[in-house]
Structure 1
Amino acid sequence: MKIKEWAEEDRPREKMLLKGIASLSDAELLAILIGSGNSHETAVQLSQRILFSVDNNLNALGKLSVKELMSKFKGIGQVKAITINAALELGKRRGSCDPIQRPEIRSSHDTFRLLHPLLCDLPHEELWAVLINRSCQVIEKVKISQGGTSETSADLRLILKAAITALASSIILCHNHPSGSIRPSREDDQLTQRLKSAARLVDINLLDHIVIGDGSYYSYSDEGKL
């Protein structure tokens, strides 16, 4: 039976999309790389045989050259052999890379330092959302809207969609005042309260709303207005 005739949840690519990449076996991952088998084996069966030949040890598989892979296994041509070698080399290089260090937000000043370079010299207003995980680390900075010299629009749905998609536990809102003043407007106050109430409905916290001016900022959290 060809892989295309398998149940959708059993095909490597479809299984990955349905259940996540961690659900795939080494043979299924290898099958995605080689794409097809030969006249007697599916890609998964060929991958299982390749792994069995090296006692299911990926380090041993990485030692096989392009020529060895081509000569030992029917259905593995030069392109497939190169793909296998390249994938294993990438895995080896990933292991030597430092883990991603996400910025942490512990105070309003941390937020100011994070976004001030993006907003300090703009001649127009921009509204950004900083998405935070439960460890107070920044998942992502998202530009929500861009406006004129005195205001910008704020769609709560876009803000919440970004937070939900990123699986954020908290949001920090931030916008600039091109005039240099850090005094929040009545519209800023209303936006803050509307977002706080809406975010609470989906179990997301609004940690702060920062207004950036000329080298300084206003924090709703610091001022006790959240």
Structure 2
Amino acid sequence: MQVQKTTIPHWSEDDRPREKMMFKGRNSLSDAELIAILIGTGTGNKSAVDLGREILLLTNGDLYEFGKLRLSQLCEIKGIGKSKAVSILAALELGRRRKESRIQKRPKITSSERAFREFRPHFTDLSHEEFFVMYLNRANQLIRIKQLSIGGVSGTYVDAKIIFKYGIDMGASAVILAHNHPSRNLKPSEEDKRITKKIKQFGELIEMPVLDHLIIADNGYFSFSDQELL
């Protein structure tokens, strides 16, 4: 009895992207096929590849904008439940972290522009405000960038005591503050100025100065230090 060998065209479409990657390599796959591998299976009369194409339509195939998609947006597509949506978001987050981990040597922060370059990956694709602090040693080398708070579209709360507690624990000698404006308006609000002044005064008391406060948006950044507002 001769056993019939199943060839790729006879496999289900859900399986083809996996086999294609194994035989031809990852570069041979389309964006939709890569998404199909992440979500695993299709639904009803739609294959995983079909769903992948439908997901890409949310941003008209723009992968940069694709990285900004949220769980709720992905779940609006029929056949994409929370489990599949989370798998996609996890893959996007791994990609971001891989990019952030490229620099192994501690960079020396000598300007607002250098600080901005270090902060920027942490604010990629955010539609709400977040507050981060950069901790520096005596040589102004980066020790760590730490997220301090997550807020809403128009603001976030930060506690000065927590900022400097982490700094003391890390043995930091100075800090640089940063938060984002999803609105892309780089002008500091009166609240931004008030918080900056309060944190600066706290830092002076414990001899851990605030060197700068950056407001970051997709279209650039604003430096309190450069504008002599510190």
Q: Normalized against structure 2, the TM-score is what?
A: 0.54
Q: How does 1:116-195 map to 2 (within 5 A)?
A: 116-195=120-199
Letter of the structure 1 residue corresponding to residue 113 of structure 2: H
1:205 aligns with 2:209: yes
Identify the match of residue 115 of structure 2 among 111, 116, 140: 111
RMSD value over aligned CA atoms? Answer: 0.9
- Rounded Cα–Cα distance in structure 2 between residues aligned with 1:203 and 1:157: 14
Equivalent pair of 1:134/1:169 in contact (CA under 8 Å): yes
Separation in 2, partners of 1:158, 1:199? 12
* Cα deviation 1:51-79 (Å, max 9, x = unaligned): xxxxxxxxxxxxxxxxxxxxxxxxxxxxx
Measured in 1, the distance between the counterparts of 2:173 and 2:213 equals 16
TM-superposed deviation, 1:215: 2.7
> What pairs up with 1:209-220 in 2 under 5 angstroms?
209-220=213-224
Aligned to 2:10: none
The alpha carbon displacement at 1:196 in A equals 0.6
SS in 1 for 2:116: helix
Q: Secondary structure at the match of 2:134?
A: strand
Question: What are structure 2's unaligned runs of at least 5 residues?
Answer: 1-103
Secondary structure of the equivalent of 2:148? Answer: strand
- State the aligned residue count: 127
Tell me by how many angstroms 1:116 deviates: 1.1
Q: CA deviation at 1:103?
A: 1.3
How far residue 214 of structure 1 moved from its aligned partner, in angstroms, is 1.9
Could you tell me the TM-score, scaled by structure 1's length?
A: 0.55
Query: What is the CA–CA distance in structure 2 between the aligned matches of 1:215 and 1:168, rounded to whole Å?
Result: 30
Opposite residue 138 of structure 1, the aligned amino acid is: L
Identity of aligned residues (%): 41
Structure 1 runs, 4 residues or longer, greater than 3 Å off: none
Q: Deviations over 1:115-174 (max 9, x none)?
A: 112113201100000000111100011100000000000111110111111111100000
How far apart are 1:101 and its partner, in Å? 1.7
Distance (whole Å) between structure 1 residues aligned to residue 200 and residue 131 of structure 2: 16
Letter in 1 for 2:133: A
Alignment of structure 1 residues 9-158 onto 2, 5 Å: 101-158=105-162
Task: Determine helix, strand or coil for the equivalent of 2:218.
Answer: coil
Q: Which amino acid counterpart does residue 122 of structure 1 have in structure 2? A: L
